[in-house]
Amino acid sequence: MYDVGYKKLLVQYIDRLEPDQLILTAQLTRYIARKIGRDEADVKKVVNVNMARLEKDGQIARLEKGVYYKRIKTAFGYYTPNKEALFCKQLLYDEDDVIGYETGLSMLNRIGLVSQMPKRKSIVTNLYTKRVPDGIQVEIRKPSVNINRDNYRYFQILDIIKDLERAPIDAVRPEEVLKKMAETLGLDTDLLIFTARKYYGTKVLIKTIDILLGGLYETAHG
């Protein structure tokens, strides 16, 4: 496979991406290796060289090491996706799988429990050791277990329940909001309670039961 062949495959792959999709060299390397039937180690260097050339040509821009995004020319200049949103996508998704979720005040604000807009977004992610680039207001937190598509909603809502005591909640009936949220997402009540019991303290467990069962149990507030 000649070098020009690599570049053609790379451009074809990048052209299919939406403007706000990340371009990860690790994913590109896997794609090229599968496409030409070679080991990833054999193509990694050439992929990196060609990505550097595409960046120099102005077709892509570098967000951080191994992470790029498309440069889209418009009548008003080049469209640049939000770098913070792109960075967060790395923490939340790995191709089609979920590897993280939003939490903390930013999540509480998103669902209407607090009106305060925090300066920083908080994300629980399997990539908790990843360095946050300068200028990006994101706090990374370590998950209790490996996050995936099946469990992230359970941990997300339990984090919210945990934050109810200490967050500046100004919604009138936050418990009703969370109960409706659990119902809308189709969360299994038994699994939610089991997860609360296994990974969160007694207060969160009791509060979770109280929310799900509509006040039949006393909350941790007594």
Walking along the chain (222 residues) 10 residues at a time, the average pLDDT comes out as 68 84 87 86 89 88 85 76 86 91 96 91 96 91 97 98 93 92 95 97 95 62 44
Residue 166 placed within a domain: yes
One domain for residues 19 and 54: yes
pTM exceeds 0.85, yes or no: no
Total domains in the chain come to 2
Reading the block at residue 132, the tokens are 């946050």
pLDDT confidence of residue 218? 46
One domain for residues 91 and 25: no
pLDDT confidence of residue 217? 44
pLDDT confidence of residue 154? 98
One domain for residues 8 and 98: no
pLDDT confidence of residue 3? 52
Residues 6 or more apart in contact with residue 219 via CB below 8 angstroms? 206, 207, 210
Beta bridge partners of 138: 121
Residue 218 placed within a domain: no
Residue 91 placed within a domain: yes
Helix (H, G, I), strand (E, B) or coil at 114: coil
One domain for residues 125 and 64: no
Which domain, by its residues, includes 23?
Answer: 3-79
